[in-house]
Amino acid sequence: MSFNTALSGLNAAQAELNVTANNIANVATTGFKESRAEFADIFSTTSFGSSGTAIGNGVLLANVAQQFNQGNLEFTSNTLDLAVSGEGFFILSPSETNSNSIFTRNGEMGVDSNGFVVNNAGARLQVFPVNADGTVTATSLSSTIPLQLPQTAGVPTVTSLVDIGVNLPANGNILDPLAFDPLQTSTFNASTSLTVFDSLGESHVVTAYYVKIADNQWATYYNSTDANGATLPLNIADVGPGDTAPVGAGGQTYHTLTFDNSGSFVANVPSVITTTAIDFLNGSDPTQLISFNYANNNATQFSSPFTVNVLDQNGFPIGRLTGVEISDTGVVRANFSNGQTTALGKIALARFQNAQGLGQVGNNSWQDTIDSGAPLVGEALTSSFGQVRSGALEVSNVDLTAQLVNLIAAQRNFQANAKSIETNNTVTQAIINIR
């Protein structure tokens, strides 16, 4: 019996050595959680035996328990390096055909050939679908989707509205609007240009020309160029009877801006400034209309130089992905070359009633079990979930110094149990040698 008792001690010491060696081997593994060997004594007696005089039968390995305490955060320059500061696991989908979720604290992410954000084993990072403003539409585990980075910002957006806020010089010379010529700077007082986009996403430069025609009154012409580079006058459409655009040089219609004696904007004629249909002769939509808004953009007429305070339009070309931003709450936004920003999703997090009950599946990942309980899914910085840190990784929580001490202790335990076997062997040999 004493041989078996000592043998169980050897096995226990060997198990502790194995656990400690595994911890040490993963001291540099991102998101790794150290394990602890937990032992229990073996106690054996009959139902009528005396427990007061019973001797134990040795030791057994009761459990190898992982310790889910937070590891230190190591900051990197990679946006897709992720860490959770606090409670929570990232949710991963092992593959396109495997719907069983796995969970990890390892946020070393990259992008595969299809634009999906994946870990180094190819498992896809799961996010909650979001609205345009980044608010989540559903927060259940079944509603999560793989995070995929788009290559373009979608179809182009045609310019339909231009916001302009200018100061027109009150001391400018009064000119004849019928003499306007965009090639003769002496026929207008000031001009400004901006880029607009047609239905194909092609850019065009539109120039506004300001001609002072009376005190506190200005005529405004608009020109562009067609696909052949020729000047393309943009006519202003009539709103209705009694609200028509004046006809100016070469039969081109224009609109007027009126200011009061204090230089504040009063009105424009027509009351709605919209061009007639524009055909850029490049295959784009020939019915494109552009509206110009001065009233809401603080247009003024002061005795100071011509200045442009507001100049904006609502069109965009096709954009290429230029970068990704991830907020502390896990909202993933894609930035595009056309200036657009799109919310792609919100990183989903999971927690468990008993994290030590999770089943290991390798690659620093776990799956839920009966012991762990079902995953509780939510958003970062809500409930008890932690903060998502982009450009950071959670390093292994292994304390190397403590593990080296454990190695020494396990080695001593092994030697002591081996000595027990040696002593038992000596006693047995002494009995055999009795004559």
Token pair 């909202």 is at which residue? Answer: 331
Residue 75 neighbours by CB distance under 10 Å: 12
Instruction: Place 141 in a pLDDT band, splitting at 50, 70 and 90.
Output: very high
By mean pLDDT, which of 93-97, 155-159, 325-329, 390-394 is the weakest? Answer: 93-97
User: Over the stretch 311-367, which tens digit does the pLDDT of each residue have?
Assistant: 999 999 998 999 999 999 999 999 998 888 999 999 999 999 999 999 999 999 999
Taking 60 as the threshold, does the pLDDT of residue 1 lie above it? Answer: no
Tell me, what amino acid is at 23? Answer: N
- Is residue 323 within 8 Å of residue 341, measured between CB atoms? no
User: Over the stretch 214-224, which tens digit does the pLDDT of each residue have?
Assistant: 999 999 999 99
- DSSP bridge pairs for 376: 351
pTM for the predicted model, two decimal places: 0.78
Q: Is 376 left (phi over 0), alpha (psi -120 to 50) or beta?
A: beta
144: which 2 tokens?
A: 């999560």
- Is residue 164 within 8 Å of residue 290, measured between CB atoms? no
Domain limits, the chain: 2-69+397-432, 73-153+321-394, 161-313
Where is pLDDT greater, at 416 or 175?
175
CA distance 240 to 255: 14
User: Over the stretch 264-277, which tens digit does the pLDDT of each residue have?
Assistant: 999 999 999 999 99
- Is residue 73 within 8 Å of residue 82, measured between CB atoms? no
182 by Cβ neighbours in 10 Å (0-12 / 13-18 / 19+) ranks as middle
Considering the chain, what is the average pLDDT of its residues?
93
Mean per-residue pLDDT, 128-154: 92
pLDDT the model gives residue 49: 63
91: which 2 tokens?
A: 């949710």
CA angle 379, 384, 389 (to 5 degrees): 55
Closest to 66 in 3D by CA, of 295, 331, 267, 366? 366
Closest to 375 in 3D by CA, of 366, 362, 364? 366
CA distance 405 to 105: 27
List strand residue ranges (DSSP E) for 43-160, in order: 58-66, 73-75, 82-85, 89-93, 102-104, 110-111, 117-118, 124-128, 145-146
Place domain 161-313 in its CATH homologous superfamily: Flagellar hook protein FlgE (2.60.98.20)
